[in-house]
Structure 1
Amino acid sequence: MSDVEDWGRAEVTSKCVGAMTCRVLAPEIFREVVARSKPALGPGNFSEVGKDIASAEEYTAVRQAIFSCPFKAIRWSRQPRVRLEQLPPLYEGFPKRIEDNVYFMGHPDANTFACAGFFIRHEGHNILIDPPIAHPKLLEAVQQMGGVQHLCFTHVDHTGNATAWYEATKASRLMHKDDMVEAENKYTPFPVTKGFEHLLELKAGETTALEGLAEFQIIHTPGHTAGSIMFLYKKKFLFTGDSLHYSAVKGHLVAARVQCWQSWELQTQSLLVNIFQDFQWVLPGHGDWRRFESPGAARASLDRCVWWMKRQGRGRTWLPWL
């Protein structure tokens, strides 16, 4: 754009607690921090700026990251000089196709701690996983793609937008019973979910299929929370919630040790189940995505993850509402 003088520069502050939303929305700009000798929770402790903004597309992605960060941990260190009227609206172009009939929803917000939401377009069985804010334009776009028949939640802290999407779509809602919230109370930020149509009672490691769609497998993987589940679609796309993501620094899949609310040992054991599954894509609620060349490469990375997890500290991170 000829009249753009400066796209500005962003920075990640010490408010960052590792939601990693910025790395999903603007992966060209934000990256995982390499461990270095500095105080814990210092600026950019989880994510940092890896390069300068060099295009309108990158600038828009950074704006989305700044707007979406639930902890307001990203700011402009140098204000851009841009004619905003020549740029597209902040959230245009979602849902965004990832591969095949799987889409990234965009529109993350604080209700779900800015997790990534995903949409599967499968005729008669469209699935929305960990839905983002029910923005009117997003609702309209999804409706044009056949609507939503199933609302599926990987665990309790991604249910913040459940009511809005249910009221808009009347889709069937699904989560694990162990993460169900029975009643409103001042000690939890999560909505009541006891009225969901499907409250699964799977045991750890057990699997089942979504009703009417054998290609969509549900796996109980407790550890991050008691009711954490993963979804495996077409033996290719593994939607992992907050239980598993990719680390470019380590070079293999990892779990978030700081954000383990139930049991690190149980989470480690849960991930062993997936070593026997075929998958190529890892699509987490928080953290970097990864497409592996083959199911074998994916399983090898998961095997390294489990090896690494067994060498971390035991226990959990305590939260008052979990």
Structure 2
Amino acid sequence: MNNSNGLLISEPPLQVIPSLAVALKSSDKAIMLQQIHYWLLRSKNIVDGHRWVFNTVKGWHEQFPWLAEKTVQRYLKDLCDRKLLITANYNKANFDRTKWYRINYDALDKLTYSKGTDSPNGEGLIVPLERDSLTQPIPIDYPETTHKNTNMVKSKNLTTKDYQQEFEKLWEQYPKYRKQGKQRACSSYTHWRKSSKDNTFEKAQEQLKKYLNHIKVQQVPTQFIKAAKTWFANIDDEYDQMPKQVNNNWRPQKSVEKGTDWSKQKFNSGKASVADTGELKDYFANLEKTNGIADSHESERDNR
């Protein structure tokens, strides 16, 4: 079969939702943001309760070879300026200036709400497309319907409402005192479900069950339990399921001040030696005589 010299899809494609390209006014920026989200879902770099990915501009350029390296740098900066990307530096070496990135999903949710879908107030979003975005096609992954990907096709047939209903069941089970960021949590769950055919509702239930067990057996204090918006953004994280080790034999140590054993101290009279009672008497007698103390003692006795 003719593949038009390899220009049609025969390698893993980059994916993007058209509505995201419209919201960002650029298909290229949408592809970049989607690709960062892809790596975040697989990242093991967790700092301050968030997943991060890090890369150089050159490294990002290798993933978007149709763009100039300076263009990649400019688009990343624009996404940061619009608060859609958050950057930090958690490199071990002080001289390493490689940037770490994570997506600000709250800002993204506000940007991409559209009329009749996920918008809580029904307000539509109308934005013009940039001229350069019209020159690039939007690559979309349309999987073939075979026995190997039947589950994926079935999953793609689920609607946003279906994912929201699944989310509500999970939300009910989450600790009530840490139910923060429901809108963001729902968005993270929906992104997670759509990102892989292996990300099923049953898997999410099992992951939540493990986390709740971790809280119980590790006796995690309330203030250290993850906010719901953070947990749903990191569903694949694993947690220790072993009970917390408690040392029942521990007792506070009493502080005892040890007295000085003067019998073992050295007497300094020009030479180091252990003084007995006789030597001490002779030493003080000579000391009094030398300083005239003995005479004063005798005068006092005479006056009496």
Say whether the fold is shared (TM-score over 0.5). no
More helix by share: 2
The TM-score with structure 2 as length reference comes to 0.25
The TM-score with structure 1 as length reference comes to 0.24
Higher relative contact order (CA 8 A, sep 6+): 2
